[in-house]
Chains A and B, each alone.
Chain A
Amino acid sequence: QKEVEQDPGPLSVPEGAIVSLNCTYSNSAFQYFMWYRQYSRKGPELLMYTYSSGNKEDGRFTAQVDKSSKYISLFIRDSQPSDSATYLCAMRASGTYKYIFGTGTRLKVLA
C-alpha cells in the first residue's frame, strides 16, 4: 500500500463548477501538506501549503486537512478552463524533509 493515495482521474467538470480533489495517507506523522498544480510538460507549481489540521483559503482555492481521518482536500471554486492540469498532493513529517507525493489527479474543465 502506498503511503499517499490519490485518484488519478481524469476528472471532467463544466466551467464554473466547484472541484473537489482528495488524498488519503497512512502515516500519522505527516504534519505538512501541500498541493501542486502541474501543466503538461511543466514542473509542479506550489498552490497551497498547510500545517497540521484545518482550512486555508487563497482566492478560489481552499485546502482542508483532517488528520483524524488522514484525509486532505483541495477545493477549486468557479473553475476555469485554465485550471485544467494535474493536481498533486504532497506531505512530510516534522523533522524530515522527505516529501511524499500522490500520483496526481488529472482535471479537465470544459468551456
Chain B
Amino acid sequence: DAGITQSPRHKVTETGTPVTLRCHQTENHRYMYWYRQDPGHGLRLIHYSYGVKDTDKGEVSDGYSVSRSKTEDFLLTLESATSSQTSVYFCAISDPGQGTNTGELFFGEGSRLTVL
C-alpha cells in the first residue's frame, strides 16, 4: 500500500468553524491531491499540488484553501465550514515519469467530515 496517512479520519464540527485536514505521504511523490466524494457526484478535485508551494485549483475549489510547505505534507483548510462541505475527503498522490511509473494515482483512506 502507498504510504498515505490522512488525519483526522473522522470529524464533526459546527457551521462557521475552521477545519484543517492533513495528508502525509512517505513516498516522496511530487503530486498531491485533495478530492471530495459525494453520492451522485463521484470524486471531484478540490485542489492539487505539483511541488512544494506550487498548487492549483480543481473543479470545486470555492471555500477551500491548501498549503504545501514540505514534500510530504498537504493541508486542506476550510476557513469557515458550511453544511455543504459535509463529505468524505480523499488525499491522493502521484509521481509521473519516474521509471516504470506512468502516473498512477494512489489514495488515502479518507477523512469523513460532518458540518452541523
**Which A residues form the contact surface with B (CB < 8 A)?**
6, 8, 32, 34, 36, 41-46, 49, 51, 88, 90, 92, 97-104
Contacts and interface: CB of A to CB of B under 8 A. Distances in A.
A90 B48 CA distance: 16
Size category of the B interface is 20 to 34
Given A46-B105, A99-B105, 17 more contacts: A32-B102, A34-B105, A45-B107, A46-B104, A49-B102, A51-B102, A97-B48, A97-B94, A98-B48, A99-B45, A99-B92, A99-B94, A100-B45, A101-B43, A103-B40, A103-B41, A103-B42
A63 B33 CA distance: 25
A43 B50 contact: no
A90 B94 CA distance: 14
Contacts of B110: 41-43
B63 to A, nearest CB: 19
Interface string B97-116: 00000111111111000000
Nearest to A89: B42
B3 interface: no
Contacts of A42: 109-110
Task: Please indicate which of the listed interface residues A34, A45, A92, A101 has the most CB atoms of chain B within 10 Å of its own CB.
Answer: A101
Given A42-B109, A44-B90, A97 B50 contact: yes
B74 interface: no
A101 B107 contact: no
Given A44-B90, A97-B31, A102 B103 contact: no
A98 B58 contact: yes
B18 interface: no
B42 A101 contact: yes
A51 B103 CA distance: 11
B12 to A, nearest CB: 16
Contacts of A92: 103
B96 interface: yes
A98 B45 contact: yes
Given A97-B31, A97-B96, A98-B48, A44 B103 contact: no
